[in-house]
């Protein structure tokens, strides 16, 4: 077991398992395998006639997930379910999952601890690394291209829209003046100088700009919208969609899609308010602080 897998407990794991309420013969899709903690939970609840289809567009994550799930299946022996892992974006779910075939679909959006902890992936402003931020390392552009090549105006709009950073113009100006920018630490310093924390104890000033670049580079919101569009067609009646968002842009798409779908007779929403982590989980895993889980059932 790698260091990451030993340490990593998926966010809101018990709640996810409760909402999915895995049936041994069912078919489930994990759109965001990551370190496969949730996927392992699903596989262990399935029987030999059950099936898990997993997606991750990060080739490193996919290989780690495969190794972990292989071990679990080996341990389960003849009781092990079928597992199929796909190294593509989950927006392509419709190409791999038959209509009305899934009992449950899970998506735990955002970055994995593996991605955040590896400085060379360039997601973290707390480590010195190249400004990459691609989940799928096979396709461009990287964030360093965006930071060094985009016009000041476009950069400001991007930081405002995807980072919800009110000081986006100041930040964009500082970035353009600071070019060429090569490392995450250098970028974090430039952003912090343009938008210092307003109050003691506030989030790191670079958080919003890093979030914006990551969302843009990985087209994260388009991916989420595509999933909400495809899911109703792929679920069986009473099949469930469970999603976890980590910032307001993700959660807003989930909330609005479920609400609009409920009006159209597509969804029965199971979470009136989003489910959040309790104090104990936040203590154990600070990343869970911002998690919001929503679930709905196909009518």
Which residues would be at the binding site for ligand SAM (CB under 6 A)? 8, 10, 32, 34-38, 55-58, 61, 89-90, 108, 110, 112, 135, 223
The tokens of 104 are what? 């449950």
CB of residue 32 to ligand SAM, shortest distance in Å: 3
DSSP string, 264-283: TTSEEES-SS-B---HHHHH
Residue 18 or 149: which CB sits closer to ligand SAM?
A: 18
Q: Which is nearer to ligand SAM, 89 or 146 (CB)?
A: 89
If the CB atoms of residues 10 and 129 are measured against ligand SAM, the closer one turns out to be: 10
User: CB 12 → ligand SAM: shortest distance, Å?
Assistant: 10
C-alpha 210/C-alpha 116 separation (Å) is: 12
DSSP state of 245: E
Phi, psi of 207 (to 5 degrees): -55, -50
Residue 128 φ/ψ, nearest 5 degrees: -85, 110
- Which tokens in the block code for residue 282? 């936040």
Nearest approach in angstroms of CB 198 to ligand SAM is 29
Least distance (Å) from ligand SAM to the CB of residue 199?
28
Q: Which residue, 175 or 213, has its beta carbon nearer to ligand SAM?
A: 213
132 neighbors 120 (Cβ within 8 angstroms)? yes
Quick check: 48 and 67 in contact, CB under 8 A? no
Can you tell me the distance from the alpha carbon of 96 to that of 53, in angstroms, rounded to the nearest whole number? 9
Nearest residue to ligand SAM on Cβ basis:
34
Q: How far is the CB of 241 from ligand SAM (least distance, A)?
A: 15
**Closest CB to ligand SAM among 141 and 197?**
141
């Amino acid at each position: 077991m790698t260091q990451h897998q030993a340490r990593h407990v998926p966010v809101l794991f018990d709640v996810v398992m409760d909402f999915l309420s895995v049936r041994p013969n069912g078919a489930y899709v994990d759109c965001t395998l990551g370190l496969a903690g949730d996927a392992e939970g699903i596989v262990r609840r399935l029987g030999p006639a059950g099936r898990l289809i997993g997606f991750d567009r990060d080739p490193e994550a996919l290989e780690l997930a495969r190794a972990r799930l292989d071990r679990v299946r080996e341990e389960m022996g003849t009781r092990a379910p079928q597992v199929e892992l796909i190294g593509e974006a989950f927006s392509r779910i419709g190409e791999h999952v038959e209509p009305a075939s899934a009992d449950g679909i899970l998506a735990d959006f955002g970055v994995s601890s593996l991605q955040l902890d590896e400085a060379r992936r360039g997601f973290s402003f707390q480590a010195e690394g190249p400004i990459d931020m691609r989940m799928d390392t096979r396709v461009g552009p990287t964030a360093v291209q965006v930071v060094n090549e985009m016009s000041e105006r476009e950069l400001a709009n991007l930081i405002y829209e995807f980072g919800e950073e009110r000081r986006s113009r100041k930040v964009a100006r500082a970035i353009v003046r600071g070019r060429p920018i090569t490392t995450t630490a250098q970028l974090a310093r430039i952003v912090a100088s343009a938008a210092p924390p307003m109050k003691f104890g506030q989030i790191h000033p670079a958080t919003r700009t890093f979030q914006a670049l990551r969302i843009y580079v990985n087209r994260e919101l388009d991916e989420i919208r595509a999933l909400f569009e495809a899911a109703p067609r792929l679920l069986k009646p009473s099949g469930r969609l469970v999603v976890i968002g980590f910032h307001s842009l993700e959660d807003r798409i989930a909330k609005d899609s479920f609400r609009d779908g409920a009006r159209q007779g597509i969804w029965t929403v199971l979470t009136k308010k989003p489910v959040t982590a309790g104090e104990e989980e936040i203590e154990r895993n600070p990343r869970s602080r911002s998690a919001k889980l929503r679930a709905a059932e196909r009518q």
